[in-house]
Amino acid sequence: MDYNFIKQLAEQGFLFSPTSMGMTRSDRTAWQDTLLTVSADEDRPDPTTRHKKYVKSTPPTFSYPGGKARMAKTIVALAPHSGRLYIEPFAGRGNVFWKAAGVLDYKEWQLNDIRTADWFESIRDHGHELVVPDCTRMEYNKRLADSKNGCPYARMLEPFFTYSGAGFGSGSFRSNKYGGSTQGGFQQSIQMAQHILHATGATITSVDWKEALAGLGADDFVYFDPPYLDCNVTAYRPSDLDHEELVQHLLEAPYRWILSEYDQPLYRNAFGAPCLQPKATTRHGAPRVECLWKNF
Ligand SMILES: C[S@@+](CC[C@H](N)C(=O)[O-])C[C@H]1O[C@@H](n2cnc3c(N)ncnc32)[C@H](O)[C@@H]1O
């Protein structure tokens, strides 16, 4: 995908419109009033105009606990360049997918996640309609209430409003003091993400990882980024899956895969030394080594 082309379109004021790929599961009547109130607020600058000045020429990134935005380039460089299907069974906020879509050549794309599938659907179907509000506690509280009614705008805004991008119900309010995207930057990211979802025609599913991988073959590629074996984040849990079952599955997989995990005996014993140990990170004061394994 040519990000410069997307940039040029955005600079010309093009708002990426959705195709008829289906709607989200939300009940629109519950949050319609809030949307109209936000859109009709004329005191604020129009973000669709403002964002043009800063439009990005790189893939979007979205904060998320365990998100791989910083490692995406490295991971994508190791992936097979082409094939039939590219799939992420633990897609999170798609930080590797956004990069992969611009570099790799696959006929089909699929994003699966038991917790974030409707975030992708919201972007795909409503990204062009989003007006990113100020990052204030009052606006956060409004979106928190809307999110309980299935509002796709509130859902899209989770990485913008919540600490670590964990989401309403998991992450607390992220004030501007703690970094994160600007209003204009976030708006651009959502628009680019919507464009990428439409350009790739990515299928979005919300099933257990094993179900998403049924029937894959040698021409397919899977990027695995499961919850860390010993993770302790609020957005998801290590108990979301059986890690030993995952290892057994990977040993027998008929397709090509890359796995992200910390350096754990479970993985070393099964797959040997990691193919890459990019760098040690620090989590809760302890050094952690983020590793990659692959089977090709
Ligand atoms: C580490 S995050 C993925 C982050 C992603 N690579 C990114 O960069 O944004 C792991 C994801 O796996 C999902 N997940 C956990 N257990 C799952 C399961 N059994 N089937 C499908 N998805 C699962 C969680 O909801 C979470 O979003």
pLDDT band per the 50, 70, 90 thresholds, residue 231:
confident
- Which is nearest to 225 in space by CA: 109, 108, 98, 89? 89
CA 65 / ligand 1 centre spacing (Å): 10
pLDDT of residue 289: 77
Tokens of 219: 């021409």
pLDDT the model gives residue 226: 95
Residues 208 and 35: their CA atoms lie apart, in Å, by: 33
Q: How far apart are CA 103 and CA 82, in angstroms?
A: 10
Mean of pLDDT values over 48-55: 43
Cross-strand bridge partners of residue 291: 261
Three-class SS of residue 127?
A: helix
What is d(CA 276, CA 257) in angstroms, rounded to the nearest whole number? 14
pLDDT tens string 137-181: 999 999 999 999 999 999 999 999 998 888 998 778 887 666 678
| Contact present, 199 and 17 (Cβ < 8 Å) | no
Identify the bridge partners of residue 79 per DSSP, sorted by sequence position: none
Q: What is the 3-state secondary structure (H, E, C) of 218-250?
A: CCCEEEECCCCCCCCCCCCCHHHCCHHHHHHHH
Provide the phi-psi class of 165: left if phi over 0, else alpha when psi is between -120 and 50, else beta.
left
For residues 291 and 261, the answer to whether their CB atoms sit within 8 Å is yes
DSSP 179-209: ----HHHHHHHHHHHHHHHHHHT-EEE-S-H
What separation in Å is there between the alpha carbon of 226 and the centre of ligand 1?
Answer: 5
Question: Which ligand 1 atom sits nearest the alpha carbon of residue 72?
Answer: 8
Structure confidence at residue 234 (pLDDT): 66
The reported pTM is 0.83
> How far is the C-alpha of 84 from the C-alpha of 51, rounded, in Å?
35
Q: Tell me what pLDDT residue 38 has.
A: 40
Give per-residue pLDDT as tens, 234-252.
667 767 889 999 999 999 9
**Residue 245, Cβ neighbours under 10 Å: how many?**
11
Highest mean pLDDT among 108-112, 172-176, 227-231: 108-112
| Mean pLDDT, rounded, of the chain | 83
CA 150/CA 27 separation, integer angstroms: 6
Can you name the CATH fold of 47-296?
A: Rossmann fold (3.40.50)
Among 275, 296, 98, 110, CA closest to 202: 110
Strands 82-88 and 105-112: parallel
Domain ranges of the chain: 47-296
Q: Which protein residues touch ligand 1 with a CB less than 6 Å away?
A: 64, 66-68, 89-90, 92-96, 112-116, 208-209, 225-227, 236, 240-241
Say how far apart CA 4 and CA 10 lie, in whole Å: 10
List the residue whose alpha carbon is closest to atom 22 of ligand 1. 113
Ligand 1 pocket check: which of 73, 88, 98, 240 to mutate, most ligand atoms within 8 Å of Cβ?
Answer: 240
249 CA from centroid of ligand 1 (Å):
17
What are the tokens at 190?
């959502």
Q: Best-predicted range by mean pLDDT among 19-28, 40-49, 223-232?
A: 223-232
Mean pLDDT of 42-53: 42
229 pLDDT tier (thresholds 50, 70, 90): confident
Q: Is the dihedral of CA 232, 235, 240, 243 positive or negative?
A: negative
Least confidently predicted of 96-105, 127-136, 177-186: 177-186
* Mutation pick for ligand 1 pocket among 114, 119, 120, 290 (CB with most ligand atoms within 8 Å): 114
Return d(Cα 27, Cα 45) in angstroms, integer: 29
Q: What's the CA-to-centroid distance between 225 and ligand 1, angstroms?
A: 6
**Range with the largest mean pLDDT of 26-35, 54-63, 153-162:** 153-162
